Structure 1
Amino acid sequence: MWVVAEKEIAGLVTPDAAFDAVEAVFASMASGDAYNFPVVREAIGYEDALYGFKGGFDKAALNLGLKAGGYWPNNQKHGLINHQSTVFLFDPDTGRVAAAVGGNLLTALRTAAASAVSIKHLAPKGAKVLGMIGAGHQSAFQMKAAARVANFEKVLGWNPHPEMLGRLADTAAELGLPFEAVERDRLGAESDVIISITSAFEPLLLDGHVTGPTHIAAMGTDTKGKQELDSALVARARLFTDEVAQSVSIGEFQHVTAKGLVSEDDVTPIGRVITGDHEGRGSAEITIFDGTGVGLQDLAVAGAVVELAKQQGKAVEVEI
């Protein structure tokens, strides 16, 4: 078994490589060449943690495996980030474990890549203003990935804890973009693209906040009860996701489908847009992409990392 430590990941995978891997696996899912396994995600009743498994099989790339981990909201006291995970790859020919890969940075990169893929394919033409809701660890990755696929001229930001907005301001400055902290109504009215990256269980972006052509990427922590967007806002949008089953069970669209405001048939896998099987935005005023985070994303990026690590002598082989 090959082991690639978390500390090696930053030197092995670039945002562009993560984007390409995620876009490709979404297309493979749409064409039937790859599929995800049912997700296990539970509150463990200790440290307010959410823990689970996401896995799948890509028969074209021969990636088989899972990501184990979750969200530990009290990790600051340990000097650790809240999201903790490890990706395990298995040999599809024999079932033997093939690799263990540090999954923390990979998760941030593939999550940011997913929202960037949605922006590339669904954002209004000529989008100039990026709105950011949430200023946690992953927000910087989200902003940087978004800036790679659209020519934004300004970033607006809001966070439930305003003292954290410095992360967004610093990231925007790094990208050479002006940043302004605003209230949610102004963010919704002025932003062409909005990324929400929180762990909210009550809607933060309301229907009345959003006016004009807008694309929204709902990228926050997914579990039963999760909600970042007002149901009325979701109900009047054209809806896309990475995995429909996850979106309507543990993702952003679980509430509107439970209320009967939309059906599963109203939610389109973004892979269909990538392959040209769906028009995408079309004439819709608002599009929403629910990034639930599928196991195949992790496997695709982890598989590429293992090969690079072996080539560069950064993978350690162990017997089990």
Structure 2
Amino acid sequence: MLIVHEREIAALMTRDAAFSAVEKVFAAMADAKAYNFPVVREAIGHEDALYGFKGGFDRAGLTLGLKAGGYWPHNLEKRGEINHQSTVFLFDPDTGKAKAMVGGNLLTALRTAAASSVSIRHLARDDAKVLGMIGAGHQATFQLRAALEQRAFEKVIGWNLHPEMLPNLEKVAQEAGVPFEAVELPGMTEADVIITITSAFSPSLMAEHVSPGTHIACMGTDTKGKQEVEAALLSRATVFTDEVAQSVSIGEAQHAVAEGALKAEDIAQLGAVINGSHPGRQSAEEITLFDGTGVGLQDLAVAAAVVDLAVEKGVATEVDF
């Protein structure tokens, strides 16, 4: 079995490689060549932590495995560790033997950012100029870096419940040579693309905060009860997702479906746009929304890619297991 340590990931996995891996697996899902297993996600009653498993099988890429991990909200303040902790396990689909164990913390941030940037590539207007960010935590910086590569953005605007964290976004924008402005939520009407990346259980982005033609990537809702945007916004938008079953059960669409504002059959897979079986955006005035719930196949795709790179560069550790 191969082990790729967390410390090696940054030097191995690029944003381009993560984008390619996620885009391919989304297309495979839409072609019914890859499928996710049911998600297990539980509050463990210790440290306010959420812990669970996401797995699946990509028949096209012959990738089988799972990611184990979750969210420990007090890690940063108590231990100086990031709050999201995870490990990816890959298995040989021919034999069932353990194939690799890969540090999943950075990979989770990269694959989540890759998913939203794939949605921007395929759904945002070509002339999008202003990028809006809701959320300014650890994963928001990854989201911003990846998104800035998808269009010729001329400005970044940002809002966070705790505004003292907004310099995290400003620094990334400045590094990219793009001006940054902190705004109140009504100011999001200026944005052509909006990314929400929070752990909220009540909506901050309302329908009135979004202008016609905007593309929204909702990336924070991955658990029952979480919510980042008003349900009415989904009824105004053409909604896409990574996986419909997760979208309506643990994703942003759960609330709109529960309220009767949206039906599961109204939601399309982003992979269908990638492989050409769905037209995607059909007008400059259309609001498109990507409900990025975070599927196990994303984790497996980037982990498999990083294992290949680790072997190629001689930094994978082989153990007799």
User: Could you tell me which residue of structure 2 aligns to residue 255 of structure 1?
Assistant: 255
1:133-282 equivalences in 2 (<5 Å): 133-187=134-188, 189-282=189-282
**Superposed displacement of residue 134, structure 1:** 0.2
User: Could you tell me which residue of structure 2 aligns to residue 108 of structure 1?
Assistant: 109
Note the alpha carbon deviations across 1:118-172, whole angstroms, 9 max, x for none: 0011112300000000000011110110111111000000000001001001010
SS at match of 1:213: coil
**Superposed displacement of residue 262, structure 1:** 1.1
Does residue 98 in structure 1 map to residue 99 in structure 2? yes
How far apart in 1 are the matches of 2:91 and 2:221?
A: 26
1:284-303 equivalences in 2 (<5 Å): 285-303=286-304
How far apart in 2 are the matches of 1:89 and 1:136?
A: 29
Identity of aligned residues (%): 68
User: Could you tell me which residue of structure 2 aligns to residue 131 of structure 1?
Assistant: 132
Verify the 8 A CA contact 2:195 2:219 in the aligned structure 1: yes
**Superposed displacement of residue 285, structure 1:** 2.0
Verify the 8 A CA contact 2:107 2:302 in the aligned structure 1: yes
Question: Any unmatched runs of 5+ in structure 2?
Answer: none
Does residue 47 in structure 1 map to residue 58 in structure 2? no
How far apart in 2 are the matches of 1:33 and 1:209?
A: 38
**Superposed displacement of residue 281, structure 1:** 1.2
**Superposed displacement of residue 212, structure 1:** 2.4
How far apart in 2 are the matches of 1:222 and 1:29?
A: 19
Aligned residue-pair number? 319
1:12-27 equivalences in 2 (<5 Å): 12-27=12-27
**Superposed displacement of residue 57, structure 1:** 0.3
Note the alpha carbon deviations across 1:179-212, whole angstroms, 9 max, x for none: 000000012x100000000000000101111122
How far apart in 1 are the matches of 2:211 and 2:9?
A: 40
Return the TM-score normalized by structure 1. Answer: 0.98
How far apart in 2 are the matches of 1:251 and 1:43?
A: 17
How far apart in 2 are the matches of 1:221 and 1:104?
A: 18
**Superposed displacement of residue 311, structure 1:** 1.6
User: Could you tell me which residue of structure 2 aligns to residue 87 of structure 1?
Assistant: 88
Return the TM-score normalized by structure 2. Answer: 0.98
SS at match of 1:117: helix
How far apart in 2 are the matches of 1:209 and 1:313?
A: 50
How far apart in 2 are the matches of 1:2 and 1:310?
A: 9
How far apart in 1 are the matches of 2:107 and 2:264?
A: 29
How far apart in 2 are the matches of 1:19 and 1:311?
A: 20
How far apart in 2 are the matches of 1:209 and 1:33?
A: 38
How far apart in 1 are the matches of 2:44 and 2:172?
A: 34
Verify the 8 A CA contact 2:69 2:87 in the aligned structure 1: yes
How far apart in 2 are the matches of 1:308 and 1:268?
A: 33
User: Could you tell me which residue of structure 1 aligns to residue 58 of structure 2?
Assistant: 58
Return structure 1 stretches of 4+ with deviation > 6 angstroms: none
**Superposed displacement of residue 259, structure 1:** 1.4
**Superposed displacement of residue 275, structure 1:** 0.7
Verify the 8 A CA contact 2:126 2:151 in the aligned structure 1: no
Q: Which amino acid aligns with 1:159?
A: N
User: Could you tell me which residue of structure 1 aligns to residue 69 of structure 2?
Assistant: 69
- Over the aligned positions, Cα root-mean-square deviation in angstroms equals 0.8
SS at match of 2:117: helix
Verify the 8 A CA contact 2:193 2:216 in the aligned structure 1: yes
SS at match of 2:119: helix
How far apart in 2 are the matches of 1:209 and 1:31?
A: 35
SS at match of 2:118: helix
**Superposed displacement of residue 79, structure 1:** 0.8
